[in-house]
C-alpha cells in the first residue's frame, strides 16, 4: 500500500459519500414517520368529538370505546413522533456531525501525505542535480586529462602549454571530487528520506487513514443499531396502546347501552288502560222483556251545577277546545204513532229513547286515559322550561332534580371548605395581628355564609320536589298494580254507582244517569263527560298559562280539582265558571275530598 496513496484517497472519499447517503436515507425515514404521525393525529382530530356540554357527553359503551381507541391512536401517533425525534437526534444528527469531522480529518491526513511526498520529491531532485553535476565534472576532468596527455606526448608543445594543461587537469579533477562528495551526500540524504518516507511517514499517515475509515465503519454500525433502538424503545408503549384498544373493544356492553337508551327515553307516564266491553244489547233485551219503552221523568232529575257549567263551557281536546254543535232539545212527548195500510198502528220512537239507551251505556264506560296522556305530552313539549322541571316527564324530571341536587351539594361543600379556611385565617390574624387585620375577612365570611344559606335553601327546595316526584311515581305504581287486580276481579255488569248488574230489574240509576241531553249523542265517541270535582286547590304562585291546554291562575285563587297529577307535574283543574285546563302541581296547594270516588 506504500504506493497506493491515490487509491486510498478515492476509498476514503467513497466512505464519506456512503456515510452521507445513509444519513439521507435516515432523513427521509424521519420525514415519513413525521408525516405518518401527522396524518394519524389529523385522523383522530377528524373523528374525535368536539368539546360538548356535560349533558351531551357520550354515554354508550360503544361510543366510549371508540373514543378510547381514538385516544390510544393519538398516543400511538405520539410514539411515531418520538421515533422520528429519536432518529433525528441520535442517528441523523450524529451522522451529519461525524461526516463533517470525518471530512476535516481526512483532509488533514491527505495534506500530510502530500507534504511528505513533496519533500521526498525535493530530496530526489537535489540528489539528481548533484548527480548530474558530478557526471558533468567527471566528463570535463576526463577531457582535461586527455588534453594533458596529448600535450605531454607532443614534442613540439612548449613547457608552458604542458604546465597549463596540467593545472587545468588538476582543477577539473578537484571539482569532480567535490561534486562526487556532494553527490554522495545528496544520495545518502535522499536514501534516508526515502526510507523514512516509505517506512515511517507514509505508514503513519496510512494508519491514521485506516483508523479513520474504521471509525467511520463503527459509527455506521452504531447508527444502524440506534436506528433499530429508536423503534424498539417505543414498542412497549405501542403495545400498551394496542392493549388499550383491545380493552376498549372488550368494554363494549350491549346490555348497558340498551339500559341507557331505556333510561334516556323513559318518561314515567302511565300507559293507557284497557278498553272496556260495551254491551249495547242489554237495554234491547230488557226492552223486549218489559214490553214497553219508557222515558225518564223530569221530576226525578237532579242537575249537577258543576257538570252543567262544564258542559256549557266546553271540554279540553288534544289541541284545544272543540265547540259543540247546539241542537234543539227533544221532549219525551216526541213519541208518536203511524198507521199502516191495514189500519194497524205501531210506535215510532224519536232519538230520545235511543239516546237514553246509549246514555246508560255511556255512563258505565270508564274514561280512556290515552287522550289525557297525549295532551300532557303535548304540554310537556310546548311548555317552558320551569325551575322544578315540571315540564318534563316524571322519570326525566327525577334525574334532572337529582343532578341539580348533586351539583348544589358540591357547591355547598366548596363554600363550606372556604368558610373553614376563612375561620382559620381569622383565628391566625387574631393571634398574630401583624399578619393581617381579622376584620378584613368578615365581609368575605358573611358572603360565604349567605351563599351557604342560599344553597341549603335550594337543596331543600329541590329535595322536596324530588320527594314529590318519587312519591308520585311509587303511588302510581301501586295504583296501577291495584287497578290490574280490580280488572281481573271485575266481571259482568258494573257496580250500582252509575253501573249495571246482571239482573236488569235490579239496576239502580243515579240522578246523573237519568239526566241525559239528546245533543250529547252527536259526540258520544269524540269526547268524554266532564269529570266531577274530587277536591279543591289554592294557587300558591301565579301561572300565566300561555300554552294551549293550560289554565291561567292568580295567586290565592281557588280552583276545583278534577284530575290528580299522574306523575308528570300537571294537575287538571276547573274554575267556578267551568273553564278547565292543566296547572303545575308545584304551584298549588291541593286538598282532596275523602269520598272523591263517589263525588
> Cβ distance 61 to 256 under 8 Å?
yes
The pLDDT score that the predictor gives to residue 40 is 95
Q: Which domain covers residue 160, as residue numbers?
A: 4-260
Residue 392: CB atoms within 10 Å: 22
pLDDT at 234: 93
Write down the pLDDT at residue 235: 94
| pLDDT block averages, 10 residues each, the chain of length 599 | 81 94 95 95 89 64 92 94 93 94 94 90 91 90 87 82 87 89 91 90 90 94 93 94 94 90 78 79 60 43 41 40 41 39 41 41 40 42 62 80 90 90 85 82 88 89 85 63 48 38 40 40 46 87 84 90 85 88 89 58
pLDDT of residue 72: 94
Q: Is residue 479 in some structural domain? A: no
* 93 and 222 fall within a common domain: yes
State whether residue 268 is helix, strand or coil. coil
Contacts of 104 (CB under 8 A, 6+ apart): none
Whole-model pTM: value is 0.48
Residue 409, all three cell numbers = 351539594
Residue 286 inside a domain? The answer is no
Q: What pLDDT score does 297 carry?
A: 39
Same domain, 419 and 550: no
Residue with cell string 390510544: 72
Cell of 579: 273553564
Distance between CA atoms of residues 188 and 513, nearest Å: 154
In a domain, residue 275? The reply is no
Q: Position of cell 436515507?
A: 25
Backbone angles phi, psi at 436, to 5 degrees: 165, 170
209, part of any domain = yes
The count of domains in the chain is 3
114 in a structural domain: yes
Of the residues 212, 230, 260, the one at which a domain ends: 260
Q: In this predicted structure, what is the pLDDT of residue 159?
A: 82
Residue 67 belongs to domain with CATH number: 1.20.1270.60
Q: Based on the domain organization, do 420 and 562 belong to the same domain? A: no
CATH number of the CATH domain containing 540: 2.30.30.40
Amino acid at each position: 500500500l506504500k504506493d497506493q496513496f491515490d487509491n486510498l484517497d478515492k476509498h476514503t472519499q467513497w466512505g464519506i459519500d456512503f456515510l452521507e447517503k445513509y444519513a439521507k436515507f435516515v432523513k427521509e425515514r424521519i420525514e415519513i414517520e413525521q408525516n405518518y404521525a401527522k396524518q394519524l393525529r389529523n385522523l383522530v382530530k377528524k373523528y374525535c368529538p368536539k368539546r360538548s356540554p356535560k349533558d351531551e357527553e357520550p354515554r354508550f359503551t360503544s361510543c366510549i370505546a371508540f373514543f378510547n381507541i381514538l385516544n390510544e391512536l393519538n398516543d400511538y401517533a405520539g410514539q411515531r413522533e418520538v421515533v422520528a425525534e429519536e432518529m433525528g437526534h441520535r442517528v441523523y444528527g450524529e451522522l451529519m456531525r461525524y461526516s463533517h469531522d470525518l471530512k476535516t480529518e481526512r483532509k488533514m491526513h491527505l495534506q500530510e501525505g502530500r507534504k511528505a511526498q513533496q519533500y521526498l520529491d525535493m530530496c530526489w531532485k537535489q540528489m539528481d542535480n548533484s548527480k548530474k553535476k558530478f557526471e558533468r565534472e567527471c566528463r570535463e576532468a576526463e577531457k582535461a586529462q586527455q588534453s594533458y596527455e596529448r600535450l605531454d606526448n607532443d614534442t613540439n608543445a612548449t613547457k608552458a602549454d604542458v604546465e597549463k594543461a596540467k593545472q587545468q587537469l588538476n582543477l577539473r579533477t578537484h571539482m569532480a571530487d567535490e561534486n562526487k562528495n556532494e553527490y554522495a551526500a545528496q544520495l545518502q540524504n535522499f536514501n534516508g528520506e526515502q526510507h523514512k518516507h516509505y517506512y515511517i511517514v507514509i505508514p503513519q499517515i496510512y494508519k491514521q487513514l485506516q483508523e479513520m475509515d474504521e471509525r467511520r465503519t463503527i459509527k455506521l454500525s452504531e447508527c444502524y443499531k440506534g436506528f433499530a433502538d429508536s423503534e424498539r424503545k417505543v414498542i412497549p408503549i405501542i403495545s400498551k396502546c394496542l392493549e388499550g384498544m383491545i380493552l376498549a373493544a372488550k368494554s363494549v356492553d350491549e346490555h348497558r347501552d340498551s339500559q341507557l337508551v331505556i333510561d334516556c327515553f323513559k318518561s314515567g307516564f302511565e300507559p293507557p288502560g284497557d278498553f272496556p266491553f260495551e254491551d249495547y244489547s242489554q237495554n234491547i233485551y230488557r226492552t223486549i222483556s218489559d214490553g214497553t219503552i219508557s222515558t225518564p221523568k223530569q221530576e226525578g232529575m237532579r242537575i249537577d251545577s258543576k257538570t252543567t257549567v262544564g258542559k256549557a263551557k266546553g271540554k279540553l281536546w288534544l289541541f284545544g277546545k272543540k265547540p259543540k254543535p247546539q241542537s234543539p232539545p227533544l221532549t219525551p212527548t216526541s213519541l208518536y204513532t203511524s198507521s199502516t195500510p191495514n189500519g194497524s198502528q205501531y210506535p215510532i220512537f224519536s232519538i230520545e229513547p235511543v239516546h237514553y239507551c246509549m246514555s246508560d251505556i255511556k255512563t258505565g264506560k270508564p274514561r280512556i286515559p290515552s287522550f289525557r296522556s297525549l295532551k300532557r305530552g303535548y304540554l310537556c313539549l310546548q311548555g317552558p322550561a320551569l325551575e322544578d322541571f315540571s315540564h318534563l316527564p316524571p322519570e326525566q324530571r327525577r334525574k334532572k332534580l337529582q343532578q341539580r341536587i348533586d351539583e348544589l351539594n358540591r357547591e355547598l361543600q366548596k363554600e363550606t371548605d372556604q368558610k373553614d379556611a376563612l375561620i382559620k385565617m381569622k383565628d391566625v390574624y387574631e393571634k398574630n395581628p401583624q399578619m393581617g387585620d381579622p376584620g378584613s375577612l368578615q365581609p368575605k365570611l358573611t358572603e360565604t355564609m349567605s351563599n351557604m344559606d342560599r344553597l341549603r335553601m335550594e337543596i331543600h327546595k329541590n329535595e322536596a320536589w324530588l320527594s314529590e316526584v318519587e312519591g308520585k311515581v311509587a303511588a302510581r305504581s301501586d295504583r296501577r298494580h291495584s287497578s290490574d287486580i280490580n280488572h281481573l276481579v271485575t266481571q259482568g255488569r258494573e257496580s250500582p254507582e252509575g253501573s249495571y248488574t246482571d239482573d236488569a230489574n235490579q239496576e239502580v240509576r243515579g240522578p246523573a244517569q237519568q239526566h241525559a241531553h239528546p245533543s250529547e249523542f252527536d259526540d258520544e265517541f269524540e269526547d268524554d263527560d266532564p269529570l266531577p270535582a274530587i277536591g279543591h286547590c289554592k294557587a300558591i304562585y301565579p301561572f300565566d298559562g300561555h300554552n294551549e291546554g293550560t289554565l291561567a291562575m292568580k295567586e290565592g285563587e281557588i280552583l276545583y280539582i278534577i284530575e290528580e297529577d299522574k306523575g308528570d307535574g300537571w294537575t287538571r283543574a276547573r274554575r267556578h265558571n267551568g273553564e278547565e285546563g292543566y296547572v303545575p302541581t308545584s304551584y298549588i296547594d291541593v286538598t282532596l275530598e275523602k269520598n272523591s270516588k263517589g263525588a
